[in-house]
Chain A
Amino acid sequence: MAGREEVLSLQAEVAQREEELSSLKQRLAAALVAEQESERLIPVSPLPPKAALSRDEILRYSRQLVLPELGVQGQLRLATASVLVVGCGGLGCPLAQYLAAAGIGRLGLVDYDVVEVSNLARQVLHGEALAGQAKVFSAAASLRRLNSAVECVPYAQALTPATALDLVRRYDVVADCSDNVPTRYLVNDACVLVGRPLVSASALRFEGQITVYHYGSGPCYRCIFPQPPPAETVTNCADGGVLGVVTGVLGCLQALEVLKIAAGLGPSYSGSLLLFDALRGHFRCIQLRRRRPDCAACGERPTVTDLQDYEDFCGSSATDKCRSLQLLTPEERVSVIDYKRLLDSGSPHLLLDVRPQVEVDICRLPHALHIPLKYLERRDVESLKLLGEAIRVGKQGTQEGASLPIYVICKLGNDSQKAVKILQSLTDLNSVTVQDVVGGLMAWAAKIDGTFPQY
């Protein structure tokens, strides 16, 4: 029996060492790539035409080779096709993964960002070991492990008006897997100017959308959206939330469209938009307009003849990082450090948390009163009654006639400013000092309480 136990224990130890070794190898691979390729825009030569598949390739791709629609000719076309992947996040990871597995010739990977722990639930090419590394190197390392025959070209930089035309020109098909409006206009205009089909997908919450722009007589992004949306109407994944499987489904659909274009089968969603509602399990395909003769990019007399300043055009930055609003004066705000000091001094006050309920369920400061901003915006009667009652109770601890200051807090310090504006407009609170806490609970977690969750 003792012999059996030793076998099991040694097996466990070997498995653990192997895991450690594999993690170290991953880090080494990424480090080597980073070392070689961090500084330069790698020049790439056109992929040479391919006349036949090798014995190994026939075995590897056999399940798709026997599809008459694809066949040897389709596989050879895939092997000589190059695809530019703009964004290696929730969409770009599954897209690149399936394209590499299917034997695409070359993948250009563009992303300026690094892997964060909060990416791992949906950005499936990145592992725990590479947190903090550039996403393009992490993705390239994963893709090489999956299929060493696929050439991966990482570009650890943002796609900009200065680089986009040059980059797009080197690839046959472009996949927009980005996460912000300026980049979507930039990729579109570059594809129109250089003449490349653009497979574009997006996802948020439980929904996704996918279409193909600038293919055949189909419309481009600007035909459908001549004007950018107002910046305040755009929600990012950090604020709105997104389920990883939803970006996964959309990234796979996007890979499918890219494969069909690359193999010569033609896309399904040129001139139509597929809507996916994951909560209801619905797919719905809608018919889009044709190419607009008066389109600024692809019309008969285009006004977009070169790339422009897209952040200026859209009034927002080319990232999906949360915006930092400045609605209040410095006197109307306190830092987390000052608030902590006030809290420790026992000075009577009311802390008002204006985050949505779902975020309060994640974490909260136990002494805070919770009223979501939405209810304050509506001047919800019950909520205002609750606030009035809390002020009345809080005042009992203050000296006669003294007013009870209110501090408003949220996740990052944007909604709290909006709430202060609303509270200032309420006549009942005329004599009350209302301030917000700069940086919100995430600043509290970063500077005051290291055990407080970040999300």
Chain B
Amino acid sequence: MGVSCELGFLNMAAPLSVEVEFGGGAELLFDGVKKHQVTLPGQEEPWDIRNLLVWIKKNLLKERPELFIQGDSVRPGILVLINDADWELLGELDYQLQDQDSILFISTLHGG
């Protein structure tokens, strides 16, 4: 028992370095900055897209969160890509982030 208590810190996920990118106009909610190299602090729960969205809302989102987030997910019309693949192929909100992952939020365009 005592040993597992002492080693409890091992259960804690290490900080993660990930690239968060916005495009298609979604960057306008983030001061026009497209690429953000971010470090997510170590925490007990593993980082997934669900809590990454909470972190983005708190730390990066500059204005009008309703134009980016709806409920606990992104609003309709924003595609989420994990390492250049549709998040639907990887578990959507439940995808567990890995160090050096690249997450792209792209707002779809409609103009022509």
Contact = CB atoms under 8 A, between A and B. Distances in A.
B111 A209 contact: no
A419 to B, nearest CB: 15
B76 A374 contact: no
B81 A377 contact: no
Interface string B71-112: 000011111010011101100000000000000101111111
A230 to B, nearest CB: 6
B13 interface: no
Contact of B111 (A203, A226, A284, A378): A203
A289 B79 CA distance: 11
Interface in A160-193: 176-181, 184
A225 B25 CA distance: 17
B108 to A, nearest CB: 7
A178 B109 CA distance: 11
A235 B75 contact: no
Nearest to B78: A229
A87 B111 CA distance: 11
Contacts of B24: 204, 207, 209, 275
Given A92-B112, A229-B108, A235-B111, A275 B23 contact: yes
Interface in A368-383: 374, 377-378
Contacts of A204: 24-25, 109-111
Given A184-B110, A202-B110, A233 B84 contact: no
Given A286-B81, A286-B85, A89 B67 contact: no
A237 B111 contact: yes
A203 B96 CA distance: 32
B63 interface: yes
B49 to A, nearest CB: 15
B112 A205 contact: no
B108 A201 contact: no
A377 B63 contact: yes
A180 B63 CA distance: 25
A224 interface: yes
B77 A225 contact: yes
Contact of A378 (B23, B63, B85): B63
Nearest to A241: B111
Nearest to A378: B63
Contacts of A320: 110-112
Interface in A227-260: 227-230, 232-237, 240, 242, 247
Contact of B76 (A89, A180, A230): A230
Question: Which among A180, A204, A226 has the greatest number of chain B C-beta atoms within 10 A?
Answer: A204
A287 B89 contact: yes
Contacts of A177: 112
A176 B79 CA distance: 19
B58 interface: no
Given A275-B23, A277-B23, A202 B75 contact: no
A208 interface: yes
Interface size class of A (residues with CB under 8 A): 35 or more
A208 B75 contact: no
Interface string A260-278: 0000000000000101010
Contacts of A228: 76-77
Given A275-B23, A377-B64, A224 B79 contact: yes
B112 A286 contact: no
Contacts of A235: 25, 111
Contacts of A178: 110, 112
Nearest to A273: B79
B76 to A, nearest CB: 4
Contacts of A413: none
A288 interface: yes
A235 B110 CA distance: 8
A287 B76 contact: no
A247 B63 contact: no
A234 B110 contact: yes
A425 to B, nearest CB: 16
Contacts of B79: 224, 273
Interface string B28-67: 0000000000000000000000000000000000111001
A209 B63 contact: no
A184 B62 CA distance: 30
B11 to A, nearest CB: 33
A284 B84 contact: yes
Given A176-B112, A233-B77, 9 more contacts: A92-B112, A202-B111, A204-B110, A242-B111, A285-B84, A286-B81, A286-B84, A320-B110, A320-B112
6 contacts: A87-B112, A90-B111, A208-B109, A230-B67, A236-B110, A289-B88
The 8 closest A-B pairs by CB, nearest first: A229-B77, A227-B76, A202-B109, A289-B88, A204-B111, A91-B112, A179-B112, A237-B111
Interface of B: 23-25, 62-64, 67, 75-79, 81, 84-86, 88-89, 104, 106-112
